[in-house]
Amino acid sequence: MWEIKETDWKVLRRVHPLALERFCERVLAEIDRVSRDGSKSCHARYLQIFRIIKQSDREIARLFDNPRRSHALTMLAQIRSHGLLTEDEFFRLSPETRGVIQMLLAG
């Protein structure tokens, strides 16, 4: 099993709240789009928003809950796969950690 370097752990601790904010921003934008869709009834929009929130809650838990060193590389790979890690943030990580993330995403 891989172990995260201290410098990379510090990067994760800095980008974690930023990535969470980006995720929530996407969800809220989707909810806003659905809520404004006048072609659907209020009830249909409510149900769709409820599904969005329910699905997003599961995703947030999977991506962001319990940031521990033992899960840090997997967490970084998942955050990266959802497009929540900027290129600049990704390149702050060590080449070794970037390689592990790319391998996890390829596999």
Percent of the chain exceeding pLDDT 70 equals 99
The answer to whether residue 78 scores a pLDDT higher than 80 is: yes
> Residues 12, 72: contact at Cβ < 8 Å?
yes
The answer to whether residue 29 scores a pLDDT higher than 90 is: yes
Q: Which of 79, 83, 76, 82 is nearest to 98 (CA)?
A: 76
pLDDT band at residue 52 using 50, 70 and 90 as cut-offs: very high
Tokens of 12: 């994760």
pLDDT score, position 51: 98
> Residues 8, 97: contact at Cβ < 8 Å?
yes
Mean pLDDT estimate for the chain = 95
Gap between the Cα atoms of 57 and 71, Å rounded: 19
Domain ranges of the chain: 6-106
pTM of this structure: 0.90
